[in-house]
Structure 1
Amino acid sequence: MRRRSRRKKGEAPENHERWLITYADLITLLMIFFVILYSMSRIDIAKYEVLSQSLQLEFLKSDTILEMGSGITGGLQTAQQPKPAETSEKVDTPDKETLKEQQKKLMEQELQELLKIVQSYIKQNHLETKVFVADTPEGINIRLSDQFLFDLGKADLKTSANPVLGKLASLFEKLDNIISIEGHTDDLPIQSGGTFQDNWGLSAGRSLSVLRYFVDTAKIDPKKFKIAGYADTRPIVPNNSNANRQKNRRVEITVLRNLG
């Protein structure tokens, strides 16, 4: 015969479903855990970029022992690198070009003033048949006839040449231009027994004599001058008469424009 278990009076009945409470709590906790994991796995790109830049800035602020380095990494910042020299030159180029243009303008004014002074001097001293002046692409060209400069076949300056050369010297010493001195002859051969063997030597000797006046007598800086002798290779008129040959025997002094 079975015995029935008897509950004591006032005792609560036994609950066989209490495990469900523990299970439900566990499931809830697992759900919360996965929700947290899921929320952490979603990356906000914008916030990530801000965070990345902030970290880089903080690293760059740190001191470094590397020369011209910055930050903990010691990297070389582009902004701190010395700028190439050409950068400053490019900035200065407009000013340099302006200055160069001003210098050329001033030089041209001086050349035109020289032209006027020489023209006035020729007219005042009635030298129209002996001295000619013209504005050429190369510069102010002053042509001196050998009539008052030299004796026939010689390269020694006459005393009659001193006033004209002295006037030119007073003008040349104020200029910074290069001055070219060129000797020219006619096509007649040099007589034997003279100082020069041919017209090349005569033309070079005459240009040298004019140069020595400016350098030795007038004391002008020799660096301003250059000379040449062309014999009869550059006539201004055909050598077909005595009058034309006279025109071809000359010394040309050109104050160059120094174009560059």
Structure 2
Amino acid sequence: MRTRAKRRGRKEGGDHRDRWMITYADLITLLLIFFVVMYAMSSLDAKKYEVVVQSLQDTFRKGDSILEQGSGITGTADRYTSKNPPAAKQSAADKKEAGSTKLTEREQAFRKQEKELQNLMGVIQKYISENKLESQIFVADQPRGIVITLNDRFLFDQGRAALKQGSANTLSKLASLFRDLKTPISIEGHTDNIPFTRTTNSSIYKDNWELSGARALSVLRFFLDREQLSPSGFQYAGYADTRPVGDNSTEAGRQKNRRVEITVLRQLQQ
């Protein structure tokens, strides 16, 4: 009898020692449920979230600060001692004016200049088309400005820098467009890479450097002396054959390189 009782006691004692596993399993299950719930809550509805955030922002924006003796978010705190003025509704005109003041005067000037440049390019393109000058004059919108390229045959005789009579109408048209512009204009002369000498060309110019500079200066003189434009808005230079746009190994490429470029610069005058 005693032996059986001892065996029964040992068996029941073993059951008591393993009961902690039930509690542990329950805890693990609860933790799993907790993390599942947390994961489900983390998946927010973006639209609803935006609505809630906007509502909170509007509420805090309209409320007076209690720290400054205001009436608080609800408008009830310190109602009689509030020193903050009531929030005024901003009209559409005020919002538009506030938006425009964000641009500095220089930024506004650049925007105005860009509009003028685009209008200028449109007028020149129309003039070229109407007068069938596509083979003599080219206009392009480049990062540095609106570049007007004039073929040397249109402006000069070979080896000369004196303007042809036939170019006067076109240059006068350009001068009328430049008159009211508030931006610098650069006039640049270019040649091909064929060595230029006085003996072979019967010219007064020593080389391509002198010829390219003299041609740019002739165009500048036309604008200043004949069209009476202000000299403060102009600059000129001669680059000889150092800035080719065509292949100097072909006649067609060399013809492209012999040119005068008038560039209306994207640059505000000081």
Q: Same fold (TM over 0.5)?
A: yes
Structure 2 CA distance for aligned equivalents of residues 136 and 186 of structure 1: 22
Does residue 1:216 correspond to 2:225, yes or no?
yes
Structure 1 gap ranges (5+): 1-93
- State the SS of the aligned residue for 2:224: helix
- State the SS of the aligned residue for 1:153: coil
TM-score relative to the length of structure 2 = 0.60
1:171 maps to a residue whose letter is L
TM-score relative to the length of structure 1 = 0.62
Aligned to 2:142: 136
2:207 maps to a residue whose letter is D
- State the SS of the aligned residue for 1:101: helix
Does residue 1:149 correspond to 2:158, yes or no?
no
Aligned to 1:231: 240
- State the SS of the aligned residue for 1:148: helix
- State the SS of the aligned residue for 1:210: helix
Aligned to 1:107: 113
- State the SS of the aligned residue for 2:120: helix
Aligned to 1:178: 184
Aligned to 2:78: none
2:210 maps to a residue whose letter is G
Task: State the Cα distance separating 1:166 from its structure 2 match.
Answer: 0.5
- State the SS of the aligned residue for 1:147: helix
Number of equivalences: 167
Task: State the Cα distance separating 1:123 from its structure 2 match.
Answer: 0.4
Task: State the Cα distance separating 1:238 from its structure 2 match.
Answer: 1.3
2:228 maps to a residue whose letter is K
Structure 2 CA distance for aligned equivalents of residues 222 and 178 of structure 1: 10
1:77-116 matched pairs, under 5 angstroms: 98-116=104-122
Q: Choose which of 185, 197, 206 in structure 2 pairs with 1:197.
A: 206
Task: State the Cα distance separating 1:136 from its structure 2 match.
Answer: 0.4
Structure 2 CA distance for aligned equivalents of residues 147 and 199 of structure 1: 16
- Max Rg structure: 1
2:215 maps to a residue whose letter is R
Structure with the higher helix share, 1 or 2: 2
Larger deviation, residues 170-179 vs 99-108: 99-108
Task: State the Cα distance separating 1:241 from its structure 2 match.
Answer: 1.4
1:172 maps to a residue whose letter is F
Structure 2 gap ranges (5+): 1-99
Give a deviation string over 1:29-70, Cα, whole Å, max 9, x none: xxxxxxxxxxxxxxxxxxxxxxxxxxxxxxxxxxxxxxxxxx
2:254 maps to a residue whose letter is R
Task: State the Cα distance separating 1:228 from its structure 2 match.
Answer: 0.6
Larger deviation, residues 99-108 vs 231-240: 99-108
Kindly indicate whether the alpha-carbon contact (under 8 Å) linking 2:196 and 2:207 is maintained by their aligned counterparts in 1. Answer: yes
Structure 1 CA distance for aligned equivalents of residues 217 and 142 of structure 2: 23
Task: State the Cα distance separating 1:203 from its structure 2 match.
Answer: 0.2
Aligned to 1:9: none
